[in-house]
C-alpha cells in the first residue's frame, strides 16, 4: 500500500529544471533552493551542469553522492574551447564562450530525458537557452538574481500551467 501512495505522489510531482552559468556564486544559492524544493515541497528537480574545469569545491558540490531522491544532475557534454581562448582571454569572455558553446546541445539533452522539466529556471548568462529549449520546455523562466530565488507559489503555478 505504501508503495502505491509513493508512486502516485511521485507521478504528480512538479518538475523544475535549473540551468545556471559557471561559478559557485551562481550555482550554490539555486542548488540549495533545488534541494529544499525536493525535500520539503515534493518537487522533482533536474539541475543541468555546464561542464568545465571548475573549482574542486564546485565539483564536489555537483557530484556529491548524497543527493535526495528526485534530485537529478545532468551534465551537459564537455566542450573544447581551447582554439577560442588563451591565457590572456578575460574570465568573463571565457565563461560566455563556454556557456554559449555548451548550450548548443541543450535541446538534444532535454529531448533524451524521459521526464522533461515543466519549468526551466535560467540565469543571466544562459539566456540563449530560451531558444534552445523553447520546443521542449516552453515554460522557461529567466530569474536574474541568485540572491532572490523565485517564490515557491510561482514555481508551482508555472508547473501547473502545463499540466
**Which pLDDT score is estimated for 101?**
87
3-class secondary-structure state, position 116: coil
**12 close to 115: Cβ distance less than 8 angstroms:** no
Burial tier of 53 (Cβ tally within 10 Å: 0-12, 13-18, 19+):
exposed
In the block, residue with C-alpha cell 581551447: 82
pLDDT at 105 over 80: yes
* 121 band by pLDDT with thresholds 50, 70 and 90: confident
Please report the domains of the chain, with CATH numbers, ordered by start residue. Answer: 20-161 (3.40.50.2000)
**Which pLDDT score is estimated for 163?**
39
* 45 band by pLDDT with thresholds 50, 70 and 90: very high
Active site residues: 26, 123
Beta-bridge partner residues of 119: 16
**Which pLDDT score is estimated for 54?**
60
Say what the pTM is.
0.74
The phi and psi torsions of 46 (rounded to 5 degrees) equal -115, 125
Question: What rounded mean pLDDT belongs to the chain?
Answer: 75
Rounded percentage of the chain residues whose pLDDT exceeds 70: 72
**Which pLDDT score is estimated for 90?**
86
pLDDT at 108 over 60: yes
Residues 100-104, mean pLDDT to the nearest whole number:
86
Rounded percentage of the chain residues whose pLDDT exceeds 90: 4
**Which pLDDT score is estimated for 11?**
54
**Which pLDDT score is estimated for 44?**
92
Torsion, Cα of 138, 142, 147, 150 (10° steps): -40
Amino acid at each position: 500500500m505504501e508503495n502505491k501512495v509513493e508512486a502516485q505522489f511521485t507521478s504528480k510531482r512538479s518538475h523544475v529544471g535549473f540551468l545556471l552559468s559557471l561559478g559557485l556564486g551562481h550555482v550554490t544559492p539555486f542548488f540549495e533552493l533545488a534541494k529544499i524544493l525536493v525535500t520539503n515541497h515534493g518537487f522533482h528537480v533536474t539541475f543541468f551542469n555546464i561542464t568545465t574545469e571548475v573549482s574542486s569545491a564546485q565539483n564536489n558540490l555537483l557530484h556529491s553522492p548524497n543527493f535526495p531522491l528526485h534530485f537529478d544532475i545532468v551534465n551537459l557534454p564537455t566542450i573544447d574551447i581551447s582554439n577560442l581562448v588563451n591565457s590572456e582571454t578575460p574570465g568573463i569572455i571565457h565563461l560566455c564562450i563556454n556557456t554559449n558553446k555548451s548550450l548548443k546541445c541543450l535541446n538534444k539533452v532535454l529531448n533524451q530525458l524521459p521526464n522533461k522539466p515543466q519549468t526551466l529556471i535560467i540565469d543571466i548568462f544562459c539566456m540563449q537557452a530560451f531558444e534552445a529549449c523553447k520546443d521542449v520546455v516552453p515554460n522557461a523562466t529567466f530569474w536574474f538574481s541568485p540572491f532572490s530565488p523565485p517564490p515557491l507559489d510561482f514555481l508551482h503555478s508555472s508547473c501547473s500551467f502545463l499540466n
